[in-house]
A and B are shown apart, each in its own frame.
Chain A
């Protein structure tokens, strides 16, 4: 009766291919065929379409510039921002170094306060646990607080397969769900839609606007659109018996869980239903209650650019007479321990999902979140997704960056994203079994550069290609393959008439 739903395998796998990869220590990455960590195209292919979408670029440019200004203003207000940032970084490093001990303590505290703790090795196991818990209550619908972990594991699809309807209640998640769309930002999943597009989705899908007598007067104003969402969800909140949430923080020492939000949909889900199920990545932990004083200052200012978000809810197990009387906490691995095994890459687990790095990234601002193919887009996604899945399944993401470093500067826990990107590029190159044209080119270059005679010959040969440029400062982009793979998206400067050493020899006389 409570068997796990059968999962289909949308990603075609080569015969004999493992369902998930493993790292060199034998730690499994997130399994294929479930969840949303892998795109169906490489980043450059997906980005090409996005770059041609003028509306998308306008929406993203408007939204990210708004939030960048707000963030800069409220971060500038805090005289000890850098100290908080360094404390946040050290706290996360310390947490990871003792992650097993802190998790056991968290389990002990939550259990002592009337909660039940479940452990999930991967997405399939987490989905099966949640499905079983919902089925045990006898309901066939749940309300959901926006949660990256449940997006990552594809929980809504798993519930749907089991005949359970999941209602997303965060405004942006609702827009995405009603529009049958995919999220494109960690904080504001519908950032790629503007008010006119949102109005159209609401008019088309919300029951309140259907039927001959419906009042379809809905101006494309953010306030009126938010009111339509309030009406749409009000009754669902009041009748819901089960809610599913993620968690922003969990405190090992006290068993306290925290959800940070704005609209009050989180409070509705965390307060009104009889049963609450929280799915949390194992890295969301903080050792002590005091540690929260750092993160409750870092997170709101970095994410929505507010001094404090409108609502933060904290709870420990079950409180008699107040809120859900049944509480389940699902602790999720799904590739996180594989990330932890990489001494350079593990810093990606420090992420508190504020999305500041997305908002400052010149690549994200132009391509949008869908191009990354994973629920974690932007700079943090480019380092997190390939590590969770194994770099072979997201091989193009470490290259989806100009390494400008804006993400590192904006990160409230000072994750050195550029260094992890370079590290992952190295891993990807080393994993190549076939020789690439690039590898051949670099091998030839290395040979030429270690012999003066070959180097001068090569320079002279390069100078001969000047005729192709026909006097223009850059070479034509339509060069034959394999060179075109490089020149398609880059300008190759026309080689100079003479090199520096040639000019020096001409003006000062040859010394050797």
Chain B
């Protein structure tokens, strides 16, 4: 008896017949963005805020203090550092004192944290997108998903103009998550409402 695999592949060959079309793919769309870095940062900030993320800008030596301010924004002043979970590769200088480093604990325990702090792999200015790649700086996928507030630190060198440049920088085999604003839905009367199952609050610290 023919296996389903052989049968489906055989059907495709029958359907296509002998003369398969040779197709040239035109790639005359934009694949690079020549705008200066400062302008890309402005576009990114504009797009992030348009999709209801909060953005705080700071210099490279103020990241720690700005992360604390970001957590004030997301959780309200007086938050408990013990309720913040941090991706393992996040530099010591960015972390709030007393925050917990992710140790691979089960989802139910992760869900008990109020906020998560991670870095990112790439940011796309034109779409306001942050890409997390499962590496030490981004952390595994569950930590940026379960706590209700997500704080991401974006460094200027990680920002690209459009989607093609971002994909070029990424490893296709890594577990990738593209995040564009807080979780949202348009399922009720096609009106966008922020905050469903993923983090309802997204605060971005833009370092330049």
Contacts and interface: CB of A to CB of B under 8 A. Distances in A.
Whether chain B is bound by chain A comes out as yes
Interface of A: 25-27, 59, 62-64, 66-67, 70, 79-80, 83-84, 86-87, 90-91, 93-94, 96-100, 103-104, 113, 118-121, 125, 169-172, 175, 188, 190-191, 194-195, 198, 222-223, 225-227, 229-230, 233-234, 237-238, 251, 253-256, 262-265, 267-268, 270-272, 282, 289-290, 292-294, 296-297, 300, 304, 306-316, 319, 321-323, 331, 333, 337-338, 340-341, 346
Interface of B: 3-5, 7-9, 11-16, 20-31, 47, 51, 104, 107-108, 111, 124, 126-129, 134, 140-142, 145, 162-164, 167-168, 172-193, 195-199
B102 to A, nearest CB: 11
Contacts of A64: 190
Contacts, number: 252
A27 B30 contact: no
A253 B82 CA distance: 43
A346 to B, nearest CB: 8
B188 A226 contact: yes
Contact of A308 (B3, B27, B128, B191): B128
Contact of A263 (B31, B47, B163, B185): B185
B189 A59 contact: yes
Given A267-B197, A310-B183, 16 more contacts: A64-B190, A87-B28, A100-B13, A103-B8, A121-B8, A171-B187, A198-B188, A238-B107, A289-B167, A293-B31, A304-B192, A306-B192, A307-B127, A311-B180, A322-B140, A337-B8
Most-contacted residue by chain A among B145, B185, B189, B193 (CB, 10 A): B185
5 contacts: A86-B26, A100-B16, A194-B189, A222-B185, A337-B8
Contacts of B190: 63-64, 66-67, 70, 188, 191
A374 B126 CA distance: 37
A247 to B, nearest CB: 14
A508 to B, nearest CB: 55
Contacts of B16: 96-97, 99-100, 340
A170 B167 contact: no
B202 to A, nearest CB: 9
B14 A341 contact: yes
B23 A97 contact: yes
B12 A100 contact: yes
A311 B179 contact: yes
A64 B190 CA distance: 8
B197 A230 contact: yes
Given A63-B190, A322-B134, A340 B180 contact: no
Contact of B185 (A113, A226, A340): A226
Contact of B196 (A226, A322, A337): A226
Contacts of B178: 296, 308, 311-314
